[in-house]
Structure 1
Amino acid sequence: MYPFLRLAKEFYVHRNDPALPLTGTHVSHHLCWPWDLDLWMELNNGRTLTLLDLGRLPLARRVGLIAVMKSQGWGLTMAGVSVRYRRRVRMFDRFHTRSRCIGWDERFIYIEQGMWRGGECCNHALYRAAVTDANGIVTPDRVMRAMGLDVASPPLPGWVSAWIEAEAKRPWPPMAE
């Protein structure tokens, strides 16, 4: 089940946090609960993606995206993700998530997130997000204008550009057999 209560807690905890610039970093603190575990008694890889929502959505609020989406009747969807898992997160481990927008192109907004325990990164994700309306994807330049911003994307890091290029070569739909 989706952690609605945990998400509500994150919005409550960060309700008075100052606004962030578009590429600012939001930090949230979490605990790995027994219901987050897999058969090997560590944070389930699918649950990791769900828990990253708990950083991404408050980030979207703090940069002003959620208010604009509400006013425009827009939605937000994740259009792709690449995750690198490096350290186990076990039951009752405390960790924090760092979330930030690293740039955008003509269709998508790219968000980088990492779960950290102490000074060690446990996993790292790159998301491709899309703002949507009834007609499909709302272009990032239109989103920026609605947010009152007239800014170009910061240059995307080479590893992000390489991922975008690799995703463009990936067949869709995938082979059925």
Structure 2
Amino acid sequence: MYPFLRLAKEFHVHRNAAPLPLTGMHVSRHVCWPWDLDLWMELNNGRTLTLLDLGRLPLAKRVGLIAALKAQRWGLTMAGVTVRYRRRIRMFDRFETRSRCIGWDARFIYIEQGMWRKGECANHALYRSAVTDANGIVAPARVMEAMGLDVASPPLPGWVCAWIEAEAYRPWPPMAD
């Protein structure tokens, strides 16, 4: 089940947090509960993606994206993700999630997130997100305008550009043969 109560808690905890610049870092703290575990008694890889929402959505609020989405009646969707898992997070481990927007292109906004435990990065994700309306994807330039910003994207890091390029070669639909 989606952790609605945990998400509500995050919005409550960060309700008075200072606004962030568009590429600012949002940090949230969490606990790995028994219902987050897999058969090997560690944080389930799918649950990791769900728990990353608990960092991304408050980040979106703090940078002003949620207000723009509401005003324009737009939606927000994830259009892709790549995750690197490196350290285990086990039951009752405390960890923090660091979330930030690292830039955008003509269609997508790229968000970097990591879960950190005891000073080490346990996993790292790169998300490609899209703002949507009834006609499909809303260009990030239009989103920035709705947020009252007149800014260009910072240069995307090389590893992000390489991922974008690799995704362009990925066949769609998959397994067509």
Does structure 1 residue 89 correspond to structure 2 residue 100? Answer: no
The answer to whether structure 1 residue 157 and structure 2 residue 157 are counterparts is yes
Task: Give the corresponding residue for 1:101.
Answer: 101
Q: CA RMSD in A?
A: 0.5
Could you tell me which amino acid in structure 2 is paired with residue 121 of structure 1? C
Find the counterpart in structure 2 of residue 32 from structure 1: 32
2: CA distance, partners of 1:145 / 1:24: 18
Structure 2 residue aligned with 1:168 = 168
Instruction: Give me the whole-angstrom Cα distance separating, in 2, the residues matched to 1:106 and 1:138.
Output: 9
- Once the two structures are aligned, what percentage of the paired residues are identical? 86
Q: 2:16 matched to which residue of 1?
A: 16
Divergent runs of 4+, >6 A? none
Question: 1:111 deviation in Å?
Answer: 0.1
How far is the alpha carbon of 1:175 from its aligned partner? 1.5
- For the residue of structure 2 that corresponds to 1:123, the secondary structure is strand
Shift of 1:176: 3.6
In the TM superposition, what are the counterparts of 1:37-56 in structure 2 within 5 Å?
37-56=37-56
Stretches of structure 2 lacking an aligned partner (at least 5 in a row): none
1:62 — aligned with what? 62
Counterpart of 2:72 in structure 1 is 72
Distance in 1 (alpha carbons) for counterparts of 2:114 and 2:120: 10
2:9 is aligned with 1:4: no
The number of equivalent residue pairs is 177
TM-score w.r.t. length of structure 2: 0.99
What code does the residue aligned with 1:120 have? E
Structure 1: 5+ residue stretches without partners: none
Q: Could you tell me which amino acid in structure 2 is paired with residue 158 of structure 1?
A: G
Q: In the TM superposition, what whole-angstrom CA distance separates every residue of 1:70-105 from its partner, at most 9, and x where no partner exists? A: 000000000000000000000000000000000000
- Residues 28-50 of structure 1: CA deviation (Å, up to 9, x unaligned): 00000000000000000000000
Q: Which amino acid aligns with 1:86?
A: R
1:129 matched to 2:129: yes
Structure 1: how far apart are the matches of 2:109 and 2:134? 19
Counterparts of 2:64 and 2:71, CA distance in 1: 11
